[in-house]
Structure 1
Amino acid sequence: MSKVQESIDVDVPVRVVYDQWTSFERFPEFMEGVEEVRQLDDLHAHWKTKIAGLSREFETEFTERIPDERVSWRTTTEDVKHTGMVSLEPIDATHTRVSMTMDFQPTGFAEKAADKLGVLERMVRGDLRRFKHFVEEHGVDPGTRGDGPGTGA
């Protein structure tokens, strides 16, 4: 197993960050290689990715969703193995630290080589930078609440 850990500070309140992060269908707007995320129910999502020419489809199960604090997941398909967590830490009333941790099992020559070269770390770092820009630009999007009604907007 390999591990990636990255963090970034964003200039929006923790509630806004959580609301945007749990709008999983919007991930393709800021995540490199993610073509589609479709939330199937409160606990499951279906993903379509294409990274370095390799297309994959897999499902994840949310193992923990604590509003304004963290979202954890694991894959439920055999050919893609990873777990992850995004934790949110309020810095003050208008700033939040977003930290992502992923454990993954590279398979095949290409994935193992990419792992050795640090490709996933760079992708996660880039995804967090794009998320920072995305959430600071979009703020609260009414109706995208990931865990129920009301956003304070």
Structure 2
Amino acid sequence: MPTIDESIDIDVPISTAYDQWTQFEEFPQFMGGVDEVRQVSDTMTHWRTSIAGVDREFDAQITAQEPDRQISWRSVDGKTHEGNVTFEPLGATQTRVRVRTVWEPEGFTEKAGAALGADDRQVKADLKRFKEFIENRGVETGGWRGQV
């Protein structure tokens, strides 16, 4: 199974980066191929994606969430997809965001893309767009400080 591990340093306080990441319905603004994310409950999200011509819908459960530290998830619809995003303070106004995911590609297109490193490049590009999104705003669009 491919494992993706990418990080980026962002020029906002840790609480700003974390709070924005909890706004899952905003993900299409900076994640390529993500058409829609609906927050179904505090611990369940529904995703609609279109990546390299492959359309998917799936549910993901938040399995752990600690404010300003981490958010972990796993798919619950039979697909193998799980991950973790961590937040590390680099000072009062800078944060390192690290995304680690493991997933099982299906079909020729997904397997070829994984073998060629397209997944790593996609996550790296998504993190760069997240950085631009939150740094340009300067403040989060909302936040959820609950713990799972």
TM-score category of the 2 structures, normalised to the smaller one: over 0.9
**CA apart distance, 1:39:** 0.4
CA RMSD of aligned residues (A): 1.0
Instruction: Report whether the alignment pairs 1:118 with 2:117.
Output: yes
**CA apart distance, 1:109:** 1.1
Distance 1:141 1:87, change over 3 A: closer
User: Which residue of the partner structure matches residue 75 of structure 2?
Assistant: 75
% identical equivalent positions: 49
Structure 2: unaligned runs, 5 residues or longer: none
Q: Is the 8 A contact 2:17 2:140 kept in 1?
A: no
User: Which residue of the partner structure matches residue 133 of structure 2?
Assistant: 134
Matching of residues 12-51 of structure 1 within 5 Å: 12-51=12-51
**CA apart distance, 1:141:** 3.7
SS at match of 2:41: coil
With normalisation by structure 1, the TM-score equals 0.92
Q: Is the 8 A contact 1:59 1:77 kept in 2?
A: yes
SS at match of 1:40: strand
Supply the distance in 2 between the matched residues of 1:44 and 1:57 (Cα, whole angstroms): 13
Matching of residues 137-148 of structure 1 within 5 Å: 137-141=136-140, 144-147=142-145
Supply the distance in 2 between the matched residues of 1:141 and 1:115 (Cα, whole angstroms): 32
Supply the distance in 1 between the matched residues of 2:28 and 2:91 (Cα, whole angstroms): 29
Q: Is the 8 A contact 1:67 1:147 kept in 2?
A: yes
* Runs of 4+ with deviation above 6 angstroms: none
Q: Is the 8 A contact 1:10 1:98 kept in 2?
A: yes
**CA apart distance, 1:139:** 2.7
Supply the distance in 2 between the matched residues of 1:77 and 1:8 (Cα, whole angstroms): 30
User: Which residue of the partner structure matches residue 108 of structure 2?
Assistant: 109
**CA apart distance, 1:52:** 0.6
Supply the distance in 2 between the matched residues of 1:132 and 1:26 (Cα, whole angstroms): 14
User: Which residue of the partner structure matches residue 93 of structure 1?
Assistant: 92
Structure 1: unaligned runs, 5 residues or longer: 149-153
**CA apart distance, 1:107:** 1.2
SS at match of 1:56: strand
Q: Is the 8 A contact 1:64 1:71 kept in 2?
A: yes
**CA apart distance, 1:2:** 1.1
Supply the distance in 2 between the matched residues of 1:29 and 1:7 (Cα, whole angstroms): 19
**CA apart distance, 1:147:** 2.6
Q: Render the CA deviation track for 1:111-138: whole Å, top value 9, x for unaligned.
A: 1111101010000000000000001012
Q: Render the CA deviation track for 1:52-108: whole Å, top value 9, x for unaligned.
A: 111100000000010000000000012x32100000000000000000000011111
Q: Is the 8 A contact 1:19 1:140 kept in 2?
A: no
